[in-house]
Amino acid sequence: MLKTLGAQIKEFKKDSFLTPVFMILEVLMETIIPLMMASIIDNGVEAGDIHHIYVMGGCMVIVACISLFAGTMGGKYGARASAGFARNLRKAMYENIQTFSFSNIDKFSTAGLVTRLTTDVTNLQNAYQMLLRMCVRAPISLICAMIMAFFINARLASVYLIAVIVLGMILAIITVRAHHYFMEVFPKYDDLNASVQENVSAIRVVKAYVREDYEKKKFTQASKNIYNMFVKAEGVLAFNSPVMQIVVYSCIIALSWLGAKMIVAGSLTTGELMSLLTYCMNIMMSLMMLSMVFVMLAMSIASAERICEVLNEKSDITNPENPVYEVADGSVTFDHVTFRYNKTSDKPILDDVNLSIRSGETIGVIGGTGSSKSSLVNLISRLYDVSEGAVLVGGKDVRSYDLDTLRDEVSVVLQNNVLFSGTIYENLRWGDKNATDEECRHACRLACADEFIDRFPDGYNTYIEQGGTNVSGGQKQRLCIARALLKKPKILILDDSTSAVDTATDAKIRKAFAEEIPDTTKFIIAQRISSVQNADRIIVLDNGVVNGFGTHEELLASNDIYRDVYESQTSGSGDFDEGGAA
């Protein structure tokens, strides 16, 4: 874990080194000041030497200025180092998340990743700053103060040893108890973020079903859980202050009583006693700081572990040693393909799929809900890897291709269409960042998106809100299809991406595809048989098994599932899930 986190310090190593250097300098200067005060009292005030007072006073001012400068620089470099460390952590996590395959992403919840990128990183940032400053300052200050105290008077300094042992034991108990509660807080942060995310992303559904009160209660409960844990943790930490004060005042009383006796006996001076009292405060405050540092570090360990989970997670889909950088054509072959999302699962999602598809063919994919239609096409662009068998594109196993090369040649329009905040042009150019305005318009004509874009006052410069909330479901689908077409792919996958489009527009889109991109292999996943009946061939999936594969006429004649669904849909009585595939 330390190696993983330490690798993210990078260009802030200099700041991380200078921070403790300045903190040590500050402590050394602060340690010298009580000795100067003792000298002023013993050799200046009591001896009546005004010159000595001026000289030592001037030296104290210089030492104090050096201490102030060192403390300021330590704070400056510490802030820079910790903020830079946090920046690098967020960047490293975000970049690693981008490399994840779908199976990697499935291991983390969205809310969990958000918590790691925000709260957990902030905790580590604070802990790192305390590590560079307080973790250096407190023990050095403690050691220096103890050394100076024993140097002045070993007998009186022994009081500190007893105090340090007692206070150390009590603070250790407090730290352990508080750490237990802090460890339980972070999963509850995930619940809180999940509640917010679900409510905001599904606000229309919440309002449509008048469930605002329910969502408020859910959020309140998640927030209350965090509150309760922090109250328990802070309740334990609250003992720090009274324990600290009891020990400090006990030391002061003991030092004053014993010191007074020693002054009367002539074995201790007034200045030395004042210095010992000052070192007493230094020692006790150092222990107090150490206790807070331990609590913060204990709390940040949980955050560090969660962050390392993301940083150490490696994509299970990577480039081979000598990848292929050219896809010959859009032919696709499924060679005895078996696929499981969970490798330990007994029942496969796809079982022994054997298909051979020629380049340029239009392939329909039909099946009931949960029949693994999307899982089948996800294997083509290697969003998942097969468990057994092989998927070949252009005559080569998809695992032999460079990932970027393969995915550049496969355009996918998913069921959940996503548009980003920006103009229509900017969204379209996700398909090809160098596409000209005319190429964008041509893609929109093929997707029948130009019909509604031309009606917008700003046309293709119309601003799309985040998630495409200011366009309808059908408009969003057509924009996503146009975006996919701009890639000029060898394979185009439409995963139920015309479900919100009327039948006439659906037919126009399919006709445009047949005429304009005849060399592109097209996979059309649909629930409506009318969307795929003109395809060159149609795959009928049933519970992860290919139940039929042929033309519309061949399946009507030979496939019971396809025939039953066709008859139910043409008679207007149902959809695919109500037919023979149910």
Max mean pLDDT among 181-190, 491-500, 531-540 falls in: 531-540
Q: What is the mean pLDDT of residues 261-266?
A: 82
For helices 50-99 and 121-132, give the axis angle rounded to 10 degrees.
150
**Res. 492: pLDDT tops 80:** yes
What is the pLDDT, as a whole number, of residue 582?
33
The strand pair at 396-397 and 545-550 is best described as unpaired
Cα gap 457→453, rounded to integer Å: 9
Q: CA–CA distance from 10 to each of 19, 86, 117, 129 (Å)?
A: 15, 11, 19, 16
Give the fold, CATH level 3, of 416-488: Rossmann fold (3.40.50)
Instruction: Between 52 and 17, name the one with better pLDDT.
Output: 17
Q: 416-488: same fold as 317-409+490-582?
A: yes
pLDDT band of residue 320 (cuts 50, 70, 90) is confident
What does 389-400 look like in DSSP terms, one character per residue? EEEEETTEEGGG
pLDDT, tens digit, for every residue of 199-252? 777 777 888 878 888 888 888 888 888 888 888 877 877 787 788 778 778 888
Cα gap 284→22, rounded to integer Å: 22
Q: What is the mean pLDDT of residues 146-173?
A: 80
353 strand-pairing partners? 337
pLDDT, tens digit, for every residue of 350-385? 999 999 999 999 999 988 878 888 889 889 988 888
What is the pLDDT, as a whole number, of residue 578?
52
pLDDT, tens digit, for every residue of 168-194? 788 778 777 777 777 777 677 777 777
**Res. 73: pLDDT tops 60:** yes
Cα gap 360→520, rounded to integer Å: 5
What is the pLDDT, as a whole number, of residue 575?
55
**Res. 66: pLDDT tops 90:** yes
Q: What is the mean pLDDT of residues 290-299?
A: 72
Q: What is the mean pLDDT of the chain?
A: 83
What is the pLDDT, as a whole number, of residue 315?
80
pLDDT band of residue 577 (cuts 50, 70, 90) is low
Max mean pLDDT among 107-111, 206-210, 336-340 falls in: 336-340
Percentage of the chain surpassing pLDDT 90? 17
Structure tokens at 216: 């408020």
- Which has the minimum average pLDDT: 119-128, 326-335, 438-447, 494-503? 494-503
What does 408-420 look like in DSSP terms, one character per residue? HSEEEE-SS----
pLDDT band of residue 268 (cuts 50, 70, 90) is confident
Residue matched to tokens 């040649």: 409
Cα gap 39→215, rounded to integer Å: 68
**Res. 430: pLDDT tops 70:** yes
Contacts of 192 (CB under 8 A, 6+ apart): 111, 219, 222, 223, 225, 226
Max mean pLDDT among 185-199, 297-311, 426-440 falls in: 426-440
Cα gap 580→361, rounded to integer Å: 27
Burial (CB count within 10 angstroms: exposed 0-12, middle 13-18, buried 19+), residue 389? middle
pLDDT band of residue 500 (cuts 50, 70, 90) is low
**Res. 579: pLDDT tops 50:** no
- 576 contacts 525 by C-beta, under 8 angstroms: no
Class of domain 2-312: mainly alpha
- Counting DSSP H helices and E strands in the chain, the numbers are 21, 12
pLDDT, tens digit, for every residue of 548-575? 999 999 999 988 888 888 888 877 555 5
pTM greater than 0.85 (yes/no): no
Q: Which of 446, 449, 452 is nearest to 512 (CA)?
A: 446
pLDDT band of residue 499 (cuts 50, 70, 90) is low
Q: Give residue limits of the domains in the chain.
A: 2-312, 317-409+490-582, 416-488
**Res. 279: pLDDT tops 80:** no
Q: What is the mean pLDDT of residues 396-407?
A: 91
What is the pLDDT, as a whole number, of residue 581?
39
**Res. 195: pLDDT tops 80:** no
Residue matched to tokens 């100067």: 36
Instruction: Between 310 and 168, name the one with better pLDDT.
Output: 310
Q: Which of 137, 142, 188, 191 is nearest to 164 (CA)?
A: 142
Q: What is the mean pLDDT of residues 260-276?
A: 81
Give the fold, CATH level 3, of 317-409+490-582: Rossmann fold (3.40.50)
Structure tokens at 474: 């059908």
Cα gap 118→125, rounded to integer Å: 10
**Res. 517: pLDDT tops 70:** yes
What is the pLDDT, as a whole number, of residue 527?
80
Q: Which of 192, 206, 48, 171 is nearest to 109 (CA)?
A: 192
**Res. 402: pLDDT tops 60:** yes
pLDDT, tens digit, for every residue of 449-480? 888 898 888 889 999 887 777 888 788 888 88
Structure tokens at 409: 């040649």
Q: CA–CA distance from 335 to each of 331, 349, 367, 389, 397 (Å)?
A: 13, 16, 20, 6, 10
Put the strands of the sheet holding 410-413 in their side by side order.
410-413, 491-495, 521-525, 362-367, 537-542, 545-550
